[in-house]
Amino acid sequence: MSDYHLIVIGAGPGGYIAALKASSLGLRVAVVENREVGGTCLNRGCIPTKTMLHSSRLYREMLGCQEMGLSAETVHVNIGAIYARKQDISSKLSSGIAGMFQNAKVDLLCGTGKIFAPNVVQVMAADGEHTYTADDILVATGSVPARPPIPGLDLPGVMTSDELLDGCGHLYRSIIIIGGGVIGVEFATFYADLGCAVTIVEGLDRLLPNMDREIGQNLAQILKKRGVQIYTKAMVQSVTQSADALSVSFSVKDTTLSVSGEVVLCAIGRRPDTEGLFAPELAPEMNGRSLKVDARFQTSIPHVYAIGDVSSKIQLAHVASAQGTACVELLCGHQPSVDLSVVPSCVYCRPEIACVGMTEQEAKDAGISVKVGKAVMFSNARTMIEGSDRSFIKVVARTDDHRIVGAQLMCERSTDIISQIAQAIANQLTPEQLLKAMRPHPTFEESLGECLETLAANL
């Protein structure tokens, strides 16, 4: 008999959710983790950045609080305290997961896991090597920040999100962010809020190029008003060190430009973390740098499964969790309880951005006849009360059966509001059905009602 039914390698949002699910379904489970429990999400990603963004938002709001009838004349940024708070929150959440492991009788094996054979995991721990056997192995090792081979990206002061989140004890005067994706724009929001000079250099034609075009354009307009410099269609050529600054050179059309800053953040994406994971004689099939998996999340090696950033096209914490749950459910002979095709994605800039399903353009490109409802929120009372920047909600539905197929939101609380659209898509609901329940007043979400009414009238 094996030591465990299931060994999960990696205790991030994919691995720990899968382990707890497996335990609740009656399996004997262990999780191998070589760093803090909670993975990138809890320790170097979602949670620390949102904690820091909460502080920066409050600071920015306090500076502008006269409009709200308040005065705060001595507001200072204590960057060390901001970092300490983020560390504290990460630690609390991390120990919460460790507690859940204990309650669920999931063994936490501290060390680096290596798959030696389809049923054998070796753990390099502080007290030496241990070998465990398992009926099945689930790889949930996540991803690490990517550093492309651009000259100068290895200079001191050029960081990825990992190093930036370690902190340095003082607030940077200026930062150049390479990459205008989710990570780039969230850090841009944070540093711009705190009064740091921010420049974003993006290779494609707009910020958040994977999202609806209006979102990127709206965000650029808002960030520029806050003083952020944005270069798009800009291909970075090199980073060089001068006396007291780093210079990033990039080409835009036929010209070469250069911007200088105290530090550089390289935020061009993340790559799957498979380093040292497999014994040399085990060579799983890869899909580029990702582990290749089938519809049941099995790799090319029998009894070895993979979920989350290490194998998924979409690198999001909640996708990893949902895949982990589905993988374990399938292993135990159940049908997956979550529809993995409906993926909300959120950006915690201001206003927040949240999208799910298809944009109008994507639907048209797929040959689906759709109509769009849109509400711009200038006259939404809560938006006005909170003094939010330009906000809008768009919902896309099929003209044939009226089913909702997507939504793009850029407004306060959109990261919460998006779930009801995701529900609608997963359950094949129409705008008419979403309009059945009255909406509370006054809310941001009232604008979704307005948008759905326009959409229903257009269909």
Distance in Å, CB of 221 to other proteins, minimum:
6
Q: End-to-end CA distance of the chain, in Å?
A: 60
Preceding omega of 302 cis (within 30 degrees of 0): no
Angle at the Cα of 219 from the Cα atoms of 218 and 221, rounded to 5 degrees: 65
Q: Closest Cα partner for 83 from 112, 110, 44?
A: 44
Q: Report the relative pairing of strands 229-231 and 197-201 from DSSP bridges.
A: parallel
Q: For other proteins, which is the closer residue by CB, 22 or 451?
A: 451
H or E segment and range at residue 425: helix 414-426
Distance in Å, CB of 231 to other proteins, minimum:
12
Asked whether 396 and 359 are in contact (CB, 8 A), the reply is yes
Listed in sequence order, the DSSP H helices in 226-356 are 317-331
Asked whether 424 and 435 are in contact (CB, 8 A), the reply is no
Distance in Å, CB of 384 to other proteins, minimum:
11
Cα distance between residue 83 and residue 293, in whole Å: 38
Binding site for other proteins (CB under 8 A): 213-214, 217-218, 220-221, 224, 374, 376, 378, 390
Q: For other proteins, which is the closer residue by CB, 17 or 370?
A: 370
Listed in sequence order, the DSSP H helices in 155-279 are 161-166, 182-193, 213-225
Distance in Å, CB of 224 to other proteins, minimum:
5
- The single-letter DSSP state of residue 278 is B
Asked whether 356 and 448 are in contact (CB, 8 A), the reply is no
Q: For other proteins, which is the closer residue by CB, 345 or 383?
A: 383
Distance in Å, CB of 218 to other proteins, minimum:
7
Asked whether 143 and 40 are in contact (CB, 8 A), the reply is yes
76: annotated active-site residue: no
Structure-token pair, residue 9: 């390698």
Q: For other proteins, which is the closer residue by CB, 44 or 382?
A: 382
Cα distance between residue 280 and residue 306, in whole Å: 18
Distance in Å, CB of 196 to other proteins, minimum:
21
Q: Closest Cα partner for 26 from 283, 409, 334?
A: 334
Q: For other proteins, which is the closer residue by CB, 145 or 216?
A: 216
Distance in Å, CB of 230 to other proteins, minimum:
9
Distance in Å, CB of 204 to other proteins, minimum:
12
Q: For other proteins, which is the closer residue by CB, 35 or 390?
A: 390
Secondary structure of residue 384 in the 3-state scheme: helix
Q: For other proteins, which is the closer residue by CB, 333 or 367?
A: 367
φ/ψ of residue 378, rounded to 5: -60, -35
Q: For other proteins, which is the closer residue by CB, 221 or 427?
A: 221
Cα distance between residue 268 and residue 146, in whole Å: 7
Out of 5, 130, 334, 441, the active site residue is: 441
Cα distance between residue 10 and residue 12, in whole Å: 6
Q: Return the active site residues.
A: 441
